[in-house]
Amino acid sequence: MDYETVAGMYRYIKEGNKLRLAKYLAQAGLTSRRHAEQMIRNGEIKVNGQLVTEMGTQVEPGTDIIEYQGRTIGSVPMMIYVLLYKPAGFICSVNDPQGRPTVLNLLKDIEERIYPVGRLDFDTSGLLLLSNDGEFTNLMIHPRYKIIKTYEARVNGRVGQAELERIRKGLLLEDGMTAPAQVKLLTQDENSSLLEISIHEGRKRQIKRMCAAINHPVLNLKRTRLAFLSLQDMKEGEYRLLTSQEVEALKKCAGAV
Ligand code: URA
């Protein structure tokens, strides 16, 4: 991906952030998408001082000037989607009353106010998305949309088949039964086991509570995948922008498009 410099990164974000003019007008709250198309057809909209009647016209929020009846129609915020390899020891919130470092401290050159999409515990590492797109965040975290999240959990002791089966079937936690989950035993030594667990729910400390319920407390937890996204060859603390194709595909996974 071509953004070794900050300027390169923003060029890249903007390229992925172009919108069809009608969508821009609808997102800016001017009118519905359908009516916006009619207005474009009628020659009521100007882009950078020029009347535009071409339905497929793409505009760049924050750069192009869109006008209706002499009034500038703005401002559609630029949507940003970041994939971070969160290290343990960072909190997933905007600030922490205890003064611990937050995941936002890891993002050096992003000017937009973005927020974690869901949470990983302070001591959990792995794949975390951040965005300023509230609708997208809801699609990713609401259990109704069934986005699969996969974790590697190093747990205490040697886990047997019967215990794996309890996780597969769903088990009782203090806030109710968990949905059936996928689980694989990856490796095992005399004192611990490495499990790969995939769930679509996102209850607080869910994996830790599930493992505690089968009497194999988690020693170390890392989220390795979210839907089709993985950490590939990223290192802890590194981040990258999602491509617009990845964002669309994630929305599709949630059944939104
Ligand atoms: N489950 C947990 O227990 N902790 C996390 O951070 C994520 C899932």
Neighbours of 237 (CB within 10 A): 13
Lowest mean pLDDT among 22-26, 159-163, 237-241: 22-26
With the most atoms of ligand 1 within 8 angstroms of its CB, the residue from 223, 224, 225, 226 to mutate is: 223
Burial class (CB in 10 A: 0-12, 13-18, 19+), 113: exposed
Pairing of strands 125-131, 218-226: parallel
Report yes or no on 7 lying in a domain: no
Q: pTM of the full predicted structure?
A: 0.80
In this prediction, residue 84 carries a pLDDT of: 98
Residue 242 and residue 135 in one domain: yes
Pocket of ligand 1 (CB under 6 A): 120-121, 124, 205-208, 221
Name the DSSP letter for residue 91: B
Same domain, 181 and 59: no
13, part of any domain: no
State the amino acid at position 44 in one-letter form. E
Tell me: pLDDT of 87 over 80.
yes
Q: Is residue 28 part of a domain?
A: yes
Percent of the chain's residues with pLDDT above 70 = 92
Average pLDDT, integer, range 11-29: 78
Ligand 1 centroid to Cα of residue 88, in Å, is 12
Percent of the chain's residues with pLDDT above 90: 71
Average pLDDT over the chain reads: 91
Same domain, 49 and 86: no
Is 90 exceeded by the pLDDT of residue 26? Answer: no
Cβ-contact 103, 90 below 8 angstroms: yes
Q: Looking at the structure, do residues 100 and 155 belong to the same domain, yes or no?
A: no
In a domain, 3, yes or no: no
For residue 121, the domain's CATH number is 3.30.70.580
Domain harbouring 208, CATH code: 3.30.70.1560
Catalytic (active site) residue 121: yes
Atom of ligand 1 nearest to the CA of 151: 8
* Residue-range definition of the domain harbouring residue 248: 81-143+229-253
Bond before 198 cis per omega within 30 degrees: no
Residues 170 and 219 both lie in one domain: yes
Residue 170 lies in a domain: yes
